[in-house]
Amino acid sequence: MESRLYIPTLHTFAMNNIFTGSCGIFRFRAKPNVVMATPKEVDFTQSTIFVEYWHGLFCYEKSQMEGENTFPMSEEGRAEIDANANDGEHDHPVVMDLGRRDDFADGAADHHNRAGGKNKRRDQTAEHRVARIAVGVR
């Protein structure tokens, strides 16, 4: 069964809600730019949705964006976001730079040790441990 990324309704964006989603290590963030026609009514023809995406283990604030696009706040724009997010390209693995892998592994080991656990994989390099975590191998 194919997994699809969920894209929320236009109402979600019209209420000025930022939406984030992910599938594996593919991540995206959709931020609306809402233009009001009246104090209580959204001008959908002038409003847009700005989408950024990246691959990796880190959150938006800690990641480098790989791409961005602006879509109209309409059913057509939402369908275009859905088509782009679910085109299958997010299934490809990504190679992160060594510095980031070491930072992540050191942080994971520190957290594990603070929690009272022992590092059972001391013979493996930090890079190898994180590479295994990133692809879901235990």
The string of pLDDT tens digits covering residues 15-30 is 999 999 988 899 999 9
Q: Same domain for 102 and 87?
A: no
Number of domains in the chain: 2
Q: Is residue 3 part of a domain?
A: no
Between CA 104 and CA 35 the distance in angstroms is 40
Contact partners, residue 93, CB within 8 Å, separation at least 6: 25, 134, 135
Q: Same domain for 50 and 109?
A: no
* Domain of residue 115, residue span: 98-134
pLDDT at 2: 57
Q: Are strands 26-33 and 36-38 parallel, antiparallel or unpaired?
A: unpaired
The string of pLDDT tens digits covering residues 87-106 is 766 554 433 333 344 444 44
Provide the total of helices (H) and of strands (E) in the chain, helices listed first.
4, 6
Q: Same domain for 22 and 77?
A: yes
Q: Same domain for 57 and 114?
A: no
pLDDT at 138: 37
Between CA 8 and CA 41 the distance in angstroms is 19
Q: Same domain for 106 and 85?
A: no
The string of pLDDT tens digits covering residues 46-89 is 999 999 999 999 999 999 999 999 999 999 999 999 988 887 66
